[in-house]
Amino acid sequence: MEQQEKKVIKKNSFKFSRFWKKLGPGLVTGASDDDPSGIATYSQAGAAYGLATLWTSILAFPLMAAIQQMCARIGLVTTQGLTGTIKKSYPKPVLYVMLLFSFPAIIMNIGADIAGMGAVGNLLFPAIHPSVFSIFFTVLLLALIIYLPYQKIASILKYLCIVMIVYFVVPFLYKQNFAEILKATFIPTLKFDKEFIAILVGILGTTISPYLFFWQASVEVEEMKNKKKQLIVNKKIINEINKDVDLGMIFSGLVMFFIILTTGTVLFQGGIHKIDTVEQAAMALKPLAGNLAYLLFAVGVIGTGLIAIPVLCGSLSYIFAETFGWEQGLDKKFHEAKAFYVIIGISLLLGLCLNYVGISPIDALIYTAILYGLTAPVLIAIILHISNNKKIMGKHVNGRWSNILGFTALLIMTLSAGTLIYLQFN
């Protein structure tokens, strides 16, 4: 009997190991979408409006998945990142405008995430100043990215995704009304006031983020380079990549759902309706939901930052390298792709410096949302055009549902961008 149990355990362990190895860039891409700045946005939504925005996680999933699948397919078919494909197929001004908007947005996003991690580190260890933690995390990430090969970095990022499971636990440390949760999840709530619309726009902006488009395409190329034999792009390979992307986006959507659920029940019902930062959200949970909820929420913020920041600075470096024709790739050593790694270093240091030049993390989030809001519709339109271009994609152009979801994302993000600009200047 005991031997039989050991065989079952060994078999299940082998199955999990095979499943884990099959997980590609989709999981990391999805997890990086829920970075500390994203957590701050979801926490604001939950604290201000309770469960009223839970339904957005259902809306966002198919739109995110459709766009990320297109980006993955572009990388797979063209063997180039998104920037390289745009450079080859579009006028140079289009490329430079993307670079102009992407650079400050990603830097400010990195800065907000570093500041959030530093502040949460200070909550866990009050004797150490937040700036010390910010510097520590910046140096740690820079060292890991430069000295570790891509496969090792990818493996570490995948394991860090496990940390985010803590957000699935936190809501259940507090009494929940499951009938209300189901209702808020599947029946949309709309309030036609400036603050609520701004929250919806913020959620969409932080969920469907342009930097993820660049990362997904480039990292698929990295994955191909690290295969021992040349991949033949066929329906089976594309289906596998689509499943990988779907899994990552489901994971991202669940984390988003549970953060809104946590803050929408614990903080909203506790009378705390104003949350501006992730550390405020973590601190507010402590007296209402207990030390364990507070600790798990805080640890999750650091874990998400360690996943998201390499993706942010990596995507920016891919954009620059492909724009100017530099040697690139996380699989290369520093001396083989100096400019690529220098951009990563500069982006991390500039993000860190934002904490010392008077730009608060909240201001950085607002500016980031505006720039993402302006670039996302244009990029989605370009991605749709590439994905339907037979000269570029051959027989792997978009299917009907990819186009329906893609154009829906384009419409919603265009309306969001217009609304965001209107709310910001009126």
Q: What is the pLDDT of residues 33-63, one digit of tens each?
A: 778 888 888 888 898 999 999 999 998 889 9
∠ CA(354), CA(300), CA(370), 5° rounding?
40
Q: Rounded distance, CA 291 to CA 374, Å?
A: 40
Do the domain assignments include residue 1? no
* Other C-beta atoms lying within 10 Å of the C-beta of residue 223: 21
Q: Rounded distance, CA 325 to CA 281, Å?
A: 43
How many CA atoms lie within 13 Å of 207's alpha carbon, on the beta-carbon side? 31
pLDDT of residue 425: 74
pLDDT of residue 5: 54
Q: Rounded distance, CA 225 to CA 76, Å?
A: 11
pLDDT of residue 277: 78
* Other C-beta atoms lying within 10 Å of the C-beta of residue 277: 23
Element housing 403 (H / E): helix 400-425
Q: Rounded distance, CA 26 to CA 215, Å?
A: 10
Do the domain assignments include residue 190? yes
Do the domain assignments include residue 3? no
Do the domain assignments include residue 8? no
* Other C-beta atoms lying within 10 Å of the C-beta of residue 289: 22
Residue burial 343-363, b: 16+ Cβ < 10 Å; e: rest? bbbebbebbbebbeeebebee
Contacts of 354 (CB under 8 A, 6+ apart): 107, 108, 111, 112, 114, 115, 364
Contacts of 108 (CB under 8 A, 6+ apart): 351, 354, 359, 364, 365, 367, 368, 371
Do the domain assignments include residue 253? yes
pLDDT-flagged residues of the chain (< 50): 8
Do the domain assignments include residue 265? yes
> If 0-12 CB within 10 Å is exposed, 13-18 middle and 19+ buried, where does residue 238 land?
middle
pLDDT of residue 385: 92
Do the domain assignments include residue 18? no
Prediction pTM value: 0.86
Please name which of 61, 8, 150 lies closest in space to residue 409, comparing C-alpha atoms: 61
Do the domain assignments include residue 15? no
Taking 3-state DSSP, the helix, strand and coil percentages for the chain, each rounded to the nearest 5, stand at: 80, 0, 20
pLDDT of residue 10: 54
pLDDT of residue 140: 92
pLDDT of residue 387: 93
Please name which of 305, 303, 310, 301 lies closest in space to residue 348, comparing C-alpha atoms: 310
How many CA atoms lie within 13 Å of 200's alpha carbon, on the beta-carbon side? 23
Domain count, the chain: 1
Q: Name residue, tokens 């570029």.
A: 392
124: its two tokens:
């866990």
pLDDT of residue 16: 52
**Per-residue model confidence as pLDDT tens digits over 142-187:** 998 888 877 777 777 777 777 777 788 777 777 778 889 899 999 9
> Computed from CA positions of residues 409, 424, 58, 191, in that sequence, does the dihedral angle turn out positive or negative?
negative
Please name which of 411, 308, 339, 377 lies closest in space to residue 101, comparing C-alpha atoms: 377
∠ CA(258), CA(207), CA(261), 5° rounding?
15
Please name which of 35, 51, 49 lies closest in space to residue 167, comparing C-alpha atoms: 35
Domain CATH number, residue 257: 1.20.1740
Tell me the residue range of the domain where 303 lies: 26-425
Got the DSSP string for 70-133?
HHHHHHHHHSS-HHHHHHHHS-HHHHHHHHHHHHHHHHHHHHHHHHHHHHHHHHHSTTS-HHHH
Q: Rounded distance, CA 86 to CA 281, Å?
A: 40
